Amino acid sequence: MATLSLQHIDKIYDNNVQAVFDFNLDVKDGELIVLVGPSGCGKSTTLRMVAGLEDISNGKLLLDGKDITQTPAKDRDMAMVFQSYALYGHMTIYENMAFSLTLRKEDPNVIHKKVLAAAEVLGLTSQLNKKPAQLSGGQRQRVAMGRSIVRNPKVFLFDEPLSNLDAKLRGATRREILLLHKRLQATMLYVTHDQTEALTLADRIVCMSMGHVQQVGTPLELYDSPDNVFVASFIGLPPMNFYDVKVSGNELVGNGFKAALTPEEKKILAAYEGKEITLGVRPENFTEGNDIKVTVTNNENLGMNTLVYGNVGNTGVKVTAKLKGWKNYKNGDTAGFSIVRKHFFDKETTKAIRGDK
Amino acid sequence: MKTKSAEDLYIQKDRMRYVKNSACSNLCYLAILFDVFYFVLLYRQDVETYYYTIQIGASIVYNLIFLLAVFLSSEGVKHYGKNYSLILLVAGAMQVVRIFVIPMRAHNAVIGEATVMSGFTFTKCFIYLAVSAACLIFSAVLNVIRCNQLEAHIKSLGEKA
C-alpha cells in the first residue's frame, strides 16, 4: 500500500472561483481518512484532484514520496468508487469486475483468479453471472468496490459510495467497507457528508467548510474537542446547542439562564472575565436538573433516549436535549435541565477556548 | 512454446462458468459473413434469364432461414447451449450441399456460347460456401467439446462441495 501527502493544495477554476484553499494532509500507510463537510465544501473536488480527474492549481501531491501532481489519472495507480456505481449494464458482474484488467491485457487466468478472490471477499461469488440490474443497490456498490479491489491499487478513493442506498443498507454496507479496510489494510480516502459514516469509519477525519480544512483529527477528537463552532455544529447528531453567554465570576449568564462554572472551567475562561463568549452544549450533555428551566415544545421518544425540544423560559432561546430513557413531557410543560459538559468558543473568532492548551 | 500447468488448465475450465463462449459465436458470425459474400456474388450474376427460376426464389428464402437460424444459434452457443451445435452442423452440411445446387449447375450450364458462371466466379462461390460450412462445423464441434468440459467441471465442483 502507500502513503499520500497533499501539500498546500489549491483548486482555482477557470472562472477564478476557488474551491479548495491550502489543503494539507499526510495520509499514513493503511489509514482510512474521511473527508466530511456540507455540500459544496470542496471535499469531492479534493478527492478528484487526488484521483487526477481535476487539475491541481497550486501545491504538490506525493504518493510514496513521489510527486504525482502532473501524472495522468490512469498512471496514478488509484481506484475510485463512485456514488452512482458506474457499472456497465450489458456486462455480467464477472465481466464488470474483470473489465479494467482486460483493458490492460492481463492474462485471462490471472484475471479470473483476482475476480474470484475479490468476489469471495465481498460475498458476490453467487452473483457473478448476473447483470447489475438484477442486483440490489448494496450489491451493486460491492461490485463497484470489487472492480477496484481486483486492480490492487495503492490508494482507494470513495466518493460518497453509500449515498444512493437506503438507511438499513447503508449501515450494512458501511460495516462491510470497514471490514474490507481491516482485511486489505489499504490506504483509503473516503468522502461523505454523513457525519455518522465519518465517525464510524475513519481513522482520522478531515472536516471541511467553504474549501478550508477546519480540523483534522480522530473521530473522538472532533466530537470531544472541536476546534471551532463549525466543527462543533457539524459533528454530532442532533447538533450542539449554542448560546451567547457572559462570563461573570463563577457563572455564565445567558439569556434566561445561569450556569455555574467549575474551578477548571473558570481557569480556562480567566482571560474572558466580563466578556461574551459562545457556550456549546451537546444535547446528550443535558440531564434532568434545576439549572435551566425549559418550556417544552416537543418530545420525541427514540426508545433508548428521548429528544426534548424547548425554549429557555419565555426567551425563545432554543434547547435540544437528549435524555436517557423514556420521557413523557407534554407541550408547554416546564422541564429542568443541568449541563454536564460545556464547550467554550470565542465569539469573534469562533475558535475553541481551551485555556492554556 | 509455454506449456500449460494443471492449474492453468483448471482455471481455463473454471473460467467457462463466467466467460461467454465467444469463439463459437464469432465463428457463427464469420459463417454468416461468408454466406453474405456468396449470395451477393451469386445474385449479381445475370446471364440471359438463367437465374430467374423458382430455384433462385427458394435460394433467397433459404438464405433468410439460414441467417436467422445461425444468428440465433450463435447466441445459443455463446451461453454454452449444447443443442445449438446440432443446428450448426445441419446448417454447415447444407452449405456444402448448396455448392452443388446453384453454383455447380450454373458453372456447367451454357447459353449460346456463354458459360452461365465462369470458372473464377464458381471458385469464389465454392470458397465462400466452403469456408462458411467449415466455420459452422468447427463452431458446432468446439461448442460440444466445451459444453462437455464445462458439464464435467461443474459436476466435479458439485462433488467437491
* Mean pLDDT confidence for A300-327: 91
CA distance A291 to B50: 111
Cis geometry, peptide bond prior to residue A238 (ω within 30 degrees of 0) = yes
For an interface test with A, the pick among B12, B18, B80 (most A C-beta atoms closer than 10 Å) comes out as B18
Strands (E), chain A: 4-12, 18-27, 32-36, 58-63, 66-67, 78-81, 155-159, 187-192, 204-209, 212-217, 241-248, 251-254, 257-260, 276-281, 286-301, 305-312, 318-324, 334-339, 343-346
Instruction: State the residue for C-alpha cell 432561546.
Output: A317
How far away is chain B from the Cα of A157, in angstroms, using its nearest Cα? Answer: 28
Instruction: State the residue for C-alpha cell 459452422.
Output: B136
Instruction: Name the helix (H) or strand (E) containing A220.
Output: helix A219-224
Express as a percent the part of chain A with pLDDT over 90.
78
CA distance A24 to A2: 17
* Mean pLDDT confidence for A110-124: 91
Cell of B138: 468447427
Q: What is the topology classification, in CATH, of domain A4-234?
A: Rossmann fold (3.40.50)
Q: Which residue has the higher pLDDT, A341 or B6?
A: A341
Cell of B50: 438463367
Q: Hey, are the CB atoms on A129 and B15 less than 8 Å from each other?
A: no
Supply the DSSP string of A11-70, one letter for each residue.
EE-TTS-EEEEEEEEEEPTT-EEEEE-STTSSHHHHHHHHHTSS--SEEEEEETTEE-TT
What does pTM read for this prediction?
0.80
Supply the DSSP string of A91-123, one letter for each residue.
S-HHHHHHHHHHHTT--HHHHHHHHHHHHHHHT
- Which residues from A are below 8 Å from B17, CB to CB? 128-129
Instruction: State the residue for C-alpha cell 483468479.
Output: A113
Helices B54-78 and B119-160: crossing angle in degrees, nearest 10, is 30
pLDDT in tens, A187-199: 999 999 999 899 9
CA distance B40 to A3: 63
* Beta pairing class for A4-12 and A58-63: antiparallel
CATH C-level class of A241-346: mainly beta
ipTM of the complex: 0.76
CA distance A23 to A37: 14
* Binned average pLDDT, 10 residues per bin, chain B of 161 residues: 77 92 96 95 72 82 96 96 96 95 86 82 94 97 96 85 51
How far away is chain B from the Cα of A182, in angstroms, using its nearest Cα? Answer: 29
How far away is chain B from the Cα of A95, in angstroms, using its nearest Cα? Answer: 8
pLDDT reported for residue B55:
82
pLDDT reported for residue B46:
63
pLDDT reported for residue A176:
85
Beta carbons of A296 and A283 less than 8 angstroms apart: no
Question: What are the extents of the domains in chain A?
Answer: 4-234, 241-346
Residue of chain B minimizing CA distance to A110: B11
- Which residues from A are below 8 Å from B18, CB to CB? 92, 94-95, 112, 115, 128-129
- Give, as one character, the DSSP assignment of residue B5: P
pLDDT in tens, A250-269: 999 998 889 999 999 999 99
Q: What is the dihedral of CA A332, A333, A339, A345, to 10 degrees?
A: 0
pLDDT reported for residue A357:
45
- Please name which of B133, B140, B20 lies closest in space to residue B82, comparing C-alpha atoms: B140
Does A222 score more than 50 pLDDT? yes
